[in-house]
Amino acid sequence: MSTNSSSRELPKQYNHAAAQDRWYPFWEKNGYFHSEPDSSKTPYTIVIPPPNVTGALHLGHALNNTLQDVLIRQKRMQGFETLWMPGTDHAGIATQAVVEKRILAEEGVSRHDLGREGLVERIWDWKKEYEARILGQLKQMGCSCDWERTRFTLDPVCAKAVRHTFFSLFKEQLIYRGKRLVNWDTMLQTAVSDDEVNHETVDGNFWYFKYPVIDPKPGEPTHVTIATTRPETMLGDTAVAVHPNPAGALDGAEADLNSRIEAAPEKQKPELQQQLEELQERRRTLLPTLVTLRDMAVDGRKLMLPLVNREIPLVADEWAKPEMGTGCVKITPAHDPNDYEVGLRRDLPMVNILNLDGTLNEEAGPYVGKTVPEARERVVADLEKQDLLVEVEERQIELAHSDRSKAPIEPLLTDQWFVKMDNLAQTAMDAVSDKRVKITPARYTKGYLDWLSEKRDWPISRQLWWGHQIPIWYSKTAGEDDLKKAFEGRDDVVWYRDEKYGQWLICAQEEDLAEDAVEGHELVREEDVLDTWFSSALWPHSTMGWPEKTAELDFYYPGNTLITSRDIITLWVARMVLAGLHNVGEIPFSDVYIHPKILDGFGEGMSKSKGNGVDPLDVIEKFGADALRFSLAYLTTETQDVRMPVEFECPHCNELIAQTKKNRILPRVKCKKCGEEFSTQWADKPEDKELPRGAVVSDRFELGRNFCNKLWNAARFALMNLEGFTPEVVADDELRVEDRWILSRLSTVTGQVTDALAEFKYADAARALYDFAWDEFCSFFVEMVKDRLQDEAARPLAQRVLAHTLDTLLRLLHPFIPFVTEEVWQLLAEVAPKRGLTKIEPAAESIIVAAWPQSDSAREDSRIEDQFTIFQEVLRAVREIRSRQNVPPKQQIEFSLRCDAATAELIEPMQSYFASMAAAKLVAAGADVEAPELSANVTMTGMEVFVDLAGLIDVAAEIQRMEQQKAKLEGFITGKQKKLENENFVKRAPAEVVQKEKDSLTELQEQLAATEAVLKRLMESK
Ligand SMILES: [Zn+2]
Can you tell me the distance from the alpha carbon of 193 to that of 816, in angstroms, rounded to the nearest whole number?
37
Share of the chain above pLDDT 90, in %: 62
Examine the pLDDT at 510 and tell me if it is beyond 50. yes
Cα-to-centroid distance, 668 and ligand 1 (Å): 13
Instruction: Give me the mean pLDDT over the 491-504 stretch.
Output: 91
Three-class secondary structure assignment of 655-675: CEEECCCCHHHCCEEECCCCC
Q: Give me ligand 1 centre to Cα 657, in Å.
A: 9
49: closest CA among 35, 63, 33, 29? Answer: 63
Between the CA of 683 and the centroid of ligand 1 the distance, in Å, is 18
Q: Which amino acid, 993? A: V
Tell me whether the omega of the peptide bond preceding residue 265 falls within 30 degrees of 0, making it cis.
no
753 C-alpha vs ligand 1 centroid, how far in Å? 43
pLDDT of residue 83: 98
Tell me whether residue 85 is exposed, middle or buried, using C-beta atoms within 10 angstroms of its C-beta: 0 to 12, 13 to 18, 19 or more. Answer: buried
Closest-CA residue to 906 (of 863, 859, 860, 862): 863
Single-letter amino acid, residue 158: C
Let me know how long the chain is. 1022
Q: Write down the H helix ranges in 353-504.
A: 372-385, 422-433, 444-453, 480-486
CA distance 638 to 607: 22
Q: Is the pLDDT of residue 5 over 50?
A: no
The C-alpha atoms of residue 592 and residue 594 are separated, in whole angstroms, by 6
Q: Looking at 191-205, 611-625, 881-895, which range is the least confident one?
A: 191-205
Residues 6+ apart with CB under 8 A from 970: 1008
Give the distance (Å) from ligand 1 centre to CA of residue 696: 14
Contact 899, 877 (CB under 8 A): no
- Give the separation between CA 551 and CA 570, rounded to whole angstroms: 30
SS3 of residue 965 by DSSP: helix
Q: Taking the C-alpha atoms of 360, 363, 367 and 373 in order, what is their torsion angle to the nearest 10 degrees?
A: -30
Distance from Cα 936 to the centre of ligand 1, integer Å: 49
Rg (CA), the chain: 37
In sequence order, what are the residues at sequence separation of 6 or more whose Cβ sits closer than 8 angstroms to the Cβ of residue 760?
67, 440, 591, 593, 638
**Measured between alpha carbons, how far is 342 from 315 in angstroms, rounded to an integer?**
10
Q: What is the pLDDT of residues 174-202, one digit of tens each?
A: 999 988 888 888 887 877 777 678 888 88
**What's the 72 CA to ligand 1 centre distance in angstroms?**
42
Average pLDDT over residues 496-505: 90
CA distances from 995 to 940, 989, 991, 1000, 1007 (A): 19, 10, 6, 8, 19
Confidence check: pLDDT of 6 > 60:
no
Is the distance from CB of 417 to CB of 507 less than 8 angstroms?
A: no
Q: Ligand 1 centroid vs 648 CA: distance in angstroms?
A: 10
CA of 624 to the centre of ligand 1 (A): 23
Report the SS3 class of residue 209: strand
| CA angle in degrees (0–180, nearest 5) for 818-824-825 | 80
Give distance in angstroms: CA of 806 to centre of ligand 1: 42
* Centroid of ligand 1 to alpha carbon of 62 (angstroms): 28
The 8-class DSSP code of residue 585 comes to S
The Å distance, Cα 641 to ligand 1 centre, comes to 32
As a whole number of angstroms, the distance between CA 651 and CA 431 comes to 53
214-235 pLDDT tens trace: 999 988 999 999 999 999 999 9
Cα 650 to ligand 1 centroid, rounded to whole Å: 5
277 CA distance to ligand 1 middle (Å): 60
Ligand 1 centroid – CA 667 distance (Å): 16
Q: How far is the CA of 484 from the centre of ligand 1 (A)?
A: 75
Rounded Cα gap, residues 67 and 144, in angstroms? 12
Q: How far is the CA of 59 from the centre of ligand 1 (A)?
A: 25
**Centroid of chain to Cα 683:** 26
Instruction: Give the residues across from 896 on adjacent strands.
Output: 924, 946
| Higher-pLDDT residue of 431, 664 | 431
> What's residue 1022's pLDDT?
65
What pLDDT does 54 receive? 83
- Mean pLDDT computed over 165-169: 97
Distance, CA of 266 to CA of 249 (rounded, Å): 27
**pLDDT computed for residue 1020 by the predictor:** 78
C-alpha 690 to ligand 1 mean position (Å): 16
Output the CA 672–ligand 1 centroid distance in Å.
Answer: 7
Please give the distance, rounded to the nearest whole angstrom, from the Cα atom of residue 1006 to the centre of ligand 1: 53
Average pLDDT estimate for 688-705: 88
Q: What is the pLDDT of residue 680?
A: 85
Query: Is 269 within 8 Å of 280 (Cβ atoms)?
Result: no
For 466, the enclosing helix (H) or strand (E) is: none
* Residue pLDDT, tens place only, 864-875: 999 999 999 999
Alpha helices (runs of H) in 547-650, residue ranges in sequence order: 551-556, 574-583, 616-623, 625-635
How many whole angstroms from 60 Cα to the centroid of ligand 1?
A: 28
Predicted confidence at residue 741, as pLDDT, reads 94
The CA 13 to ligand 1 mean position distance, Å, reads 26
pLDDT for 165 equals: 97
What spacing in Å lies between the alpha carbon of 680 and ligand 1's midpoint?
14
Determine the distance separating the centroid of ligand 1 and the alpha carbon of 623, expressed in angstroms: 20
Span from the CA of 670 to the centroid of ligand 1 (angstroms):
8
Contact at 8 Å (CB) between 561 and 759? no
Ligand 1 centroid from CA 691, angstroms: 13
Q: How far apart are CA 74 and CA 78, in angstroms?
A: 6
pLDDT at 113: 87
Give the burial class of 690: count Cβ atoms within 10 A of its Cβ; 0-12 exposed, 13-18 middle, 19 or more buried. exposed
Average pLDDT, integer, range 733-746 = 93
pLDDT digits (tens, 9 = 90+) for 753-785: 999 999 999 999 999 999 999 989 998 899 889
In this prediction, residue 209 carries a pLDDT of 94
Distance 675 CA to ligand 1 centre (A): 6
Give the H/E segment covering residue 814: none
Q: What pLDDT, on the 0 to 100 scale, is given for residue 587?
A: 97
pLDDT of residue 8: 56
**Ligand 1 centroid – CA 697 distance (Å):** 15
Confidence of residue 86 (pLDDT cuts 50, 70, 90): very high
Please compute the mean of the pLDDT values over residues 929-951 and round it to a whole number.
Answer: 86
Judged against a pLDDT cut of 70, whether residue 4 lies above it is answered with no
- Which positions ≥6 away from 636 have C-beta within 8 Å? 63, 67, 595, 596, 642, 762, 763, 766
43 Cα to the center of ligand 1, angstroms: 52
CA distance 833 to 725: 9
Confidence of residue 682 (pLDDT cuts 50, 70, 90): confident
Which residues are CB-contacts of 49 (< 8 A; sequence separation ≥ 6)? 64, 562, 563, 564, 568, 572
Q: How sure is the predictor about 464, in pLDDT bands with cuts at 50, 70 and 90?
A: confident
Model confidence at 260: pLDDT above 90: no
Nearest to 307 by CA among 381, 369, 216, 374: 381
Quote the ligand 1 centre to 140 CA distance (angstroms): 28
What distance in angstroms lies between residue 676's CA and the mean position of ligand 1's atoms?
Answer: 6
Spacing, Cα 665 to ligand 1 middle (Å):
19
Cα 649 to averaged position of ligand 1 atoms, centre (Å)? 8
Mean pLDDT along residues 831-845: 95
DSSP letter, residue 114? H
State the distance from the centre of ligand 1 to the C-alpha of 663, rounded, in angstroms. Answer: 15
| pLDDT(375) > 50 | yes
- Average pLDDT estimate for 356-376: 92
* Distance of CA 541 from the midpoint of ligand 1 (Å): 51
Instruction: Check pLDDT > 90 for residue 821.
Output: yes
Distance between Cα 651 and ligand 1 center (Å): 7
Contacts of 470 (CB under 8 A, 6+ apart): 166, 417, 461, 526, 528, 529, 530
Q: Cα(616) to centroid of ligand 1, in Å?
A: 22
The answer to whether the beta carbons of residues 353 and 347 sit under 8 Å apart is no
Mean pLDDT, residues 623-641 taken together: 90
- Gap from CA of 673 to ligand 1 centroid (Å): 5
> For residues 405 and 185, is the Cβ–Cβ distance under 8 A?
yes
User: Over the chain, what is the mean pLDDT?
Assistant: 90
pLDDT, mean of residues 622-628: 95
Q: Report d(CA 226, CA 494) in Å as an integer.
A: 50
Ligand 1 centre from 677 Cα, in Å? 8
Distance 662 CA to ligand 1 centre (A): 18
**pLDDT at residue 942, as a whole number:** 86
SS (H, E, C) 478-510: CCHHHHHHHCCCCCCEEEEEEHHHCEEEEEECC
What is the whole-number distance in angstroms between the Cα of residue 647 and the centre of ligand 1?
13
Q: Which helix (H) or strand (E) holds 151?
A: strand 151-152
Report how far ligand 1's centroid is from the alpha carbon of 761 (Å).
41
Residue type at position 314? L
Residue 678 Cα, ligand 1 centroid: separation in angstroms?
A: 8
Q: Give the DSSP per-residue string, 769-787.
A: HHHIIIIIIIIIIHHHTHH
Looking at residue 872, its amino acid is Q
Q: Which helix (H) or strand (E) holds 117?
A: helix 111-141
Q: How many CB atoms lie within 10 A of CB 496?
A: 16
**Rounded to the nearest whole angstrom, what is the distance from the C-alpha of residue 576 to the centroid of ligand 1?**
49
Distance from the alpha carbon of residue 642 to the mean position of ligand 1, in angstroms = 29
On whether the CB atoms of residues 270 and 264 are closer than 8 A, the answer is no
Q: 136 CA to middle of ligand 1, Å?
A: 30
Q: What pLDDT is recorded for position 201?
A: 86
The model's confidence at residue 1, banded by pLDDT at 50, 70 and 90, is very low
**How far, in Å, is the centroid of ligand 1 from the Cα of 611?**
22
Collect all residues with Cβ–Cβ distance below 8 Å to 279 and sequence separation of at least 6. Answer: 250, 253, 254, 257, 323
DSSP state for residue 615 in the 8-state scheme: P
Contacts (Cβ under 8 Å, ≥6 apart) of 468:
154, 159, 162, 163, 529, 530, 534, 535
According to the model, what pLDDT value does residue 868 have? 92
Distance 656 CA to ligand 1 centre (A): 8
Residues 898-902, mean pLDDT to the nearest whole number:
92
Distance CA 361, CA 343 (A): 21
